[in-house]
Amino acid sequence: MGRAFWVLGTGTDVGKTFVSGFLVAGLRRRGREAGYYKPVASGGVRTPGGLAAADALWAAEASGLGDDPVSLGGCVYETPVSPHLAARLEGRPVDRGRMDEELARWRTIRDPLVVEGAGGLAVPLDDRGTLMADLAAASGLPAVLVAAPGLGSLNHTALSAAFARGRGIPLLGVVVCGHRPQDPVERDNLLWMERMAGAPLLGVLPRADLPERPRDWTAAQRESFVSLWDEGTWGRFEAALGEGRTG
Active site residues: 38
Residue 16 annotated as lining a ligand binding site: yes
How many Å apart are CA 123 and CA 86, to the nearest integer?
Answer: 12
- With a CB cutoff of 8 Å and minimum separation 6, the contacts of 188 are none
Residue 9: enclosing H or E segment and its boundaries? Answer: strand 4-9
Residue 117 annotated as lining a ligand binding site: yes
- With a CB cutoff of 8 Å and minimum separation 6, the contacts of 81 are 42, 89
Candidates 24, 143, 12; CA nearest to 72 is: 24
With beta carbons less than 8 A apart as the criterion, state whether 142 and 246 touch: yes
Residue 199 annotated as lining a ligand binding site: no
Provide DSSP, 137-186. Answer: HHHT--EEEEE-SSTTHHHHHHHHHHHHHHTT--EEEEEEEEE-TT-HHH
CA distances (Å), 154 to each of 159, 179, 192, in order? 9, 14, 7
* Coil, helix or strand at residue 99: helix
Residue 116 annotated as lining a ligand binding site: yes
Residue 188 annotated as lining a ligand binding site: no
Give φ, ψ of 24 to 5 degrees: -65, -45
* Coil, helix or strand at residue 223: helix
Residue 173 annotated as lining a ligand binding site: no
Residue 42 annotated as lining a ligand binding site: yes
Residue 118 annotated as lining a ligand binding site: yes
- Give how far the C-alpha of residue 118 lies from the chain's centroid of Cα atoms, to the nearest Å: 8
User: Annotated binding site for substrate, which residues?
Assistant: 42
User: Annotated binding site for Mg(2+), which residues?
Assistant: 17, 55, 116
